[in-house]
Amino acid sequence: MTTDRAQSPLRVVLTDLNATVVESWRAAFADTPEIEIRHGSILAEQVDAWVSPTNSKGRMDGGTDAAIKRHLGAGIQLKVQRQIRNHYAGTLPVGSAVCVPSGAVTPKFLISTPTMQSSAQNVSETLNVALACAAAFQAVHRQNRLAPGSIRSVALVGMGAQTGRVPARVCANLMWTGYTLFNDHHFEDDDELRATILAQLDDIEKAPATTRVRITAPAARSRSGR
């Protein structure tokens, strides 16, 4: 299946206020020079879409979510929760994401993807970071299919590294996994995305914290098999 990603490379910015997360990204993405890594606030990034780690109800009441809601206005939470109601019966599963117009010039879109079901949940023993990051990038695919070229640049923070208590290096490696899967495959179905990731990462907790895993995409629709 063809994707817009092949026609127009996506500019990806990783930015966080936590210096340890930033240094962990630099290690995890050392062989991925196209990724821009910064120590700073996502609110300063001039990109088409911001990605915000959220909870399954889309309550923007803490961390990056709260900062974005203050910046864009309370209406952004209403938009996110309306999408969650309309498409997910009010609960957005980990491994899914919604993309909504922000109402601002920058960013034009907000992508919300849950790293946890409820607010302030410890997800350090889960694969939620990989699931959330992959889902966010798949939301970019879907938006660009609806409106080609509408998202050409995106910024993300360290998912789960603060409220979710995921160690910085683990967070960075799981985000690398989500990014490389974005390059390799366009999932039409969130269930397939979750199943693919969980099947291949189910024993990663036994590996050293520095271990990165590149997901093997389903052969039937992988870009390499076109």
* pLDDT tens profile 35-51: 999 999 999 999 999 99
Is the pLDDT at 7 greater than 60, yes or no?
no
Mean residue pLDDT of the chain comes to: 90
- Residue 116, beta-bridge partner list: 55
Residues ≥6 apart with Cβ < 8 Å to 158: 14, 16, 18, 21, 24, 25, 168, 171, 172, 175
Instruction: Characterize the bridge pairing of strands 153-156 and 98-101.
Output: unpaired
Q: Is the pLDDT of residue 85 over 60?
A: yes
> Domain holding 177: CATH number?
3.40.220.10
Domain that holds residue 18: 4-225
Residue in 168, 107, 186, 95 with CA at minimum distance from that of residue 136: 95
Q: What is the C-alpha to C-alpha distance for residues 60 and 145, in angstroms, rounded to an integer?
A: 27
Q: What is the DSSP letter of 107?
A: S
- Residue 8's pLDDT is 67
Instruction: Give the residue-averaged pLDDT of 107-129.
Output: 92
Task: Please state the rounded mean pLDDT for residues 131-139.
Answer: 96
User: For position 50, what pLDDT does the model report?
Assistant: 98
Structure tokens at 132: 């959330």
Higher per-residue confidence, 134 vs 3: 134
- Please compute the mean of the pLDDT values over residues 20-29 and round it to a whole number: 97
**CB-hemisphere CA count at 13 Å for 63?**
25
* H or E element in which residue 11 lies: strand 11-16
Summarize the confidence of residues 138-144 as an average pLDDT.
Answer: 95
Whether 1 has a pLDDT exceeding 80, the answer reads: no
Residue-level pLDDT at 220: 56
Which candidate, 109, 62, 130, places its Cα nearest to that of 98? Answer: 109
Please give the tally of structural domains in the chain: 1
Range from 27-36, 124-133, 184-193, 202-211 carrying the lowest mean pLDDT: 202-211
Return the SS3 of 150: coil
Average pLDDT for 163-181: 93
- Tell me what percent of the residues of the chain surpass a pLDDT of 70: 93
H helix runs in the chain, sequence order = 4-7, 19-28, 63-72, 75-88, 128-146, 168-184, 190-201
Q: What is the pLDDT of residue 2?
A: 37
State mean pLDDT over 159-167. Answer: 90
pLDDT reported for residue 145: 94
